[in-house]
């Protein structure tokens, strides 16, 4: 089920993905018909434009600060903070500064 990550080893999630200048980087850890778990890193000023998900999406910021716009409402999240973006509701993500997040989508 899990891929792209070591098993049976103590890990720090934010260390499992690196920043790339001018890019949004993603690393899929789990993807099946029930759940998707992905790590993301955003360089400052990078974004994922407005879209909707087929499941409830829970993001937790692992490092830095991101801006999340959900159905027109803006949320600023920092390390350790979590936001749930409901299924089928338009949302976007923007790097206020370099930041990393974990995304869990449940279908």
Confidence of residue 64 (pLDDT cuts 50, 70, 90): very high
104 touches 31 (CB < 8 A): no
pTM: 0.96
Angstrom CA distances, 82 to 22, 47, 85, stand at 25, 18, 10
Domains and CATH numbers, the chain: 24-106 (2.60.120.10)
Mean pLDDT of 57-69: 98
> If pLDDT is split at 50, 70 and 90, which confidence band does 23 have?
very high
Question: CB count, 10 Å around CB of 59?
Answer: 23
In angstroms, rounded to a whole number, what is the distance separating the alpha carbons of residues 107 and 87? 9
Q: How confident is the model at residue 100 (pLDDT cuts 50, 70, 90)?
A: very high
Tokens of 74: 């803006």
Read off the pLDDT of residues 26-61 as tens digits, 9 standing for 90 and up: 999 999 999 999 999 999 999 999 999 999 999 999
């Amino acid at each position: 089920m899990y891929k792209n990550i070591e098993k049976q080893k103590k890990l720090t999630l934010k260390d499992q993905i690196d920043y790339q200048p001018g890019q949004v980087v993603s690393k899929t850890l789990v993807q099946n018909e029930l759940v998707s778990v992905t790590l993301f890193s955003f360089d400052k000023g990078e974004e994922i434009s407005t879209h909707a998900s087929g499941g409830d999406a829970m993001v937790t910021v692992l490092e830095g600060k991101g801006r999340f716009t959900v159905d027109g409402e803006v949320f600023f999240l920092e390390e350790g903070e979590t936001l749930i973006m409901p299924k089928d509701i338009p949302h976007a993500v923007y790097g206020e500064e370099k930041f990393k997040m974990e995304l869990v989508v449940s279908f």
